[in-house]
């Protein structure tokens, strides 16, 4: 259980890759969704997978807290997968239903990647509050979820504004 749990939390050891493991995990997550969009994988399947990893990640972070030097260790990157998934899944649903091109979806994914990394790194309020005050599995995951929600809202506003002009 411990070995399998660590593999999940590190996204199969992506979190152990030198510098910027969170950015690498977000980039791999983004690429994965582009591939899944290309093959028209139904969004309900992706949401079920997301919910599974959300629940299991919170449990595993708490259960394996002694396996890492910090509760929010840089090696733990499953939270990046979860946070990056928020804006991508939102637009995945909309663009798959609209039969959008893979090129347009890829542009949206790239912009969401940049936005998510911005919010995840700079941690504006309430992300910084959650990061500092919830030192458990929920806090590790939830600050990235909020960063993903911020990214979704900002990107959606930009699309609306762009569409008006």
pLDDT tens figures, 14-63: 999 989 999 999 999 999 999 999 999 999 999 999 999 999 999 999 99
Provide the whole-model pTM: 0.95
Can you spell out the DSSP letters for 4-39? HHHHHHTTTTGGGSSS-HHHHHHHHHHHHHHHHHHT
For residue 133, the model assigns a pLDDT of 97
Q: What average pLDDT does the chain have? A: 96
In this prediction, residues 57-70 reach a mean pLDDT of 96
**Considering the chain, what percentage of its residues have pLDDT values greater than 90?**
94
For residue 165, the model assigns a pLDDT of 79
SS3 71: coil
Number of domains in the chain: 1
For residue 107, the model assigns a pLDDT of 96
Give the residue numbers spanning the domain of 84: 2-164
How many residues comprise the chain? 165
For residue 148, name the pLDDT band (cuts at 50, 70, 90): very high
**33 vs 165, higher pLDDT:** 33
In this prediction, residues 72-97 reach a mean pLDDT of 96
For residue 163, name the pLDDT band (cuts at 50, 70, 90): confident
Query: Is the Cα torsion angle 109, 142, 140, 49 positive or negative in sign?
Result: negative
Cα 158 to Cα 153: distance, rounded to the nearest angstrom: 9
In this prediction, residues 95-119 reach a mean pLDDT of 95
């Amino acid at each position: 259980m411990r070995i399998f749990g660590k593999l999940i939390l590190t996204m199969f050891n992506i979190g152990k890759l030198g510098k910027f493991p969170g950015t690498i995990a977000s980039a791999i997550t983004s690429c994965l969704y582009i591939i899944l969009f290309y093959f028209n994988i139904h969004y309900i399947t992706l949401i079920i997978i997301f919910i599974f990893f959300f629940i299991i990640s919170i449990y595993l972070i708490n259960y394996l807290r002694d396996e890492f030097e910090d509760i929010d260790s840089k090696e733990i990157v499953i939270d990046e997968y979860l946070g990056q998934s928020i804006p991508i899944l939102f637009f995945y649903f909309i663009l798959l239903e609209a039969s959008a091109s893979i090129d347009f979806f890829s542009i949206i994914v790239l912009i969401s990647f940049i936005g998510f990394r911005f919010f995840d790194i700079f941690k504006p309020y309430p992300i910084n509050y959650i990061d500092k005050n919830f030192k458990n599995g929920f806090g590790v995951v939830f600050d990235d979820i909020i960063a993903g929600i911020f990214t979704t809202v900002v990107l959606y506003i930009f699309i609306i504004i762009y569409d008006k002009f």
